[in-house]
């Protein structure tokens, strides 16, 4: 029901309809044309802050096991600059709540698109170093079936970029 009481949103037969409060002038909403802009970096900051806040407000020990919880925000929030996938955020969340040294504190849920898999150590051939490119970080991998390129959005936070050319 709208705030002014004149329109009603209802689901009928699997479709969403907008109608008057009297049930007249039904209009089917075409949700296939709806586009939503998602800015993961902003969402990730909010998610991490909410995890921090929920632990602060609901942790069973009001003394937080002696941990300076405000200092933990200052320690872990800078890692958001290195988060480029939801799996990265889950690692930061796990490390943040791990500061409380409590068993049975887990990170779960949060569907996200799969990360692009790149061969790591132990590939069957020489591997070039990661190089910055227009489409992300790239390296060539020589294997049994020839050379192929592997692209990531960014390198791991522990990698350092020495120069744009390698």
CA 1 to CA 83: how far, in whole Å? Answer: 40
CA 48 to CA 89: how far, in whole Å? Answer: 8
For 3, the 3-state DSSP assignment is coil
For 76, the 3-state DSSP assignment is helix
Provide mean pLDDT across the span 148-156.
50
Do residues 86 and 112 make contact, with C-beta atoms less than 8 angstroms apart? yes
pTM reported for the whole predicted model: 0.53
pLDDT for position 158? 37
pLDDT at residue 141 tops 80: no
pLDDT, one tens digit per residue, over 47-97 is 999 999 999 999 999 999 999 999 999 999 999 999 988 889 999 999 999
Q: Which residue has the higher pLDDT, 116 or 79?
A: 79
Q: Which residue has the higher pLDDT, 37 or 25?
A: 37
The DSSP annotation for 37-68 comes to ---HHHHHHHHHHHHHHHHHHH-S-TTGGG--
Domain locations in the chain as residue ranges: 1-35, 40-98, 116-166
Provide mean pLDDT across the span 36-47.
90
Tell me what the pLDDT averaged over the chain comes to: 76
The DSSP annotation for 80-123 comes to GGG--SHHHHHHHHHHHHHTT--TT--------PPPPP---TT-
Task: Please give the structure tokens belonging to residue 106.
Answer: 């887990």
pLDDT, one tens digit per residue, over 21-31 is 777 778 888 88
pLDDT, one tens digit per residue, over 119-140 is 555 545 555 566 666 656 566 5
* Domain 40-98 top-level CATH class: alpha beta
């Amino acid at each position: 029901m709208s705030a002014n009481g004149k329109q009603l949103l209802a689901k009928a037969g699997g479709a969403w309809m907008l109608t008057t409060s009297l049930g007249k002038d039904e209009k089917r909403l075409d949700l296939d044309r709806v586009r939503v802009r998602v800015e993961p970096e902003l969402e990730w900051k909010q998610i991490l802050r909410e995890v921090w806040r929920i632990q602060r407000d609901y942790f069973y020990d009001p003394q937080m096991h002696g941990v300076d919880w405000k200092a933990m925000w200052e320690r872990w929030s800078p890692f958001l600059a290195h988060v480029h996938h939801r799996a990265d955020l889950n690692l930061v969340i796990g490390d943040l709540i791990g500061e409380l040294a409590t068993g049975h504190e887990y990170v779960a849920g949060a569907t996200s698109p799969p990360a692009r898999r790149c061969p790591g150590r132990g590939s069957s051939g020489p591997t070039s170093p990661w190089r910055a490119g227009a489409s992300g970080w790239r390296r060539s991998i020589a294997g049994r079936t020839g050379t192929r390129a592997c692209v990531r959005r960014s390198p791991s936070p522990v990698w350092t970029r020495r120069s744009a050319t390698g």
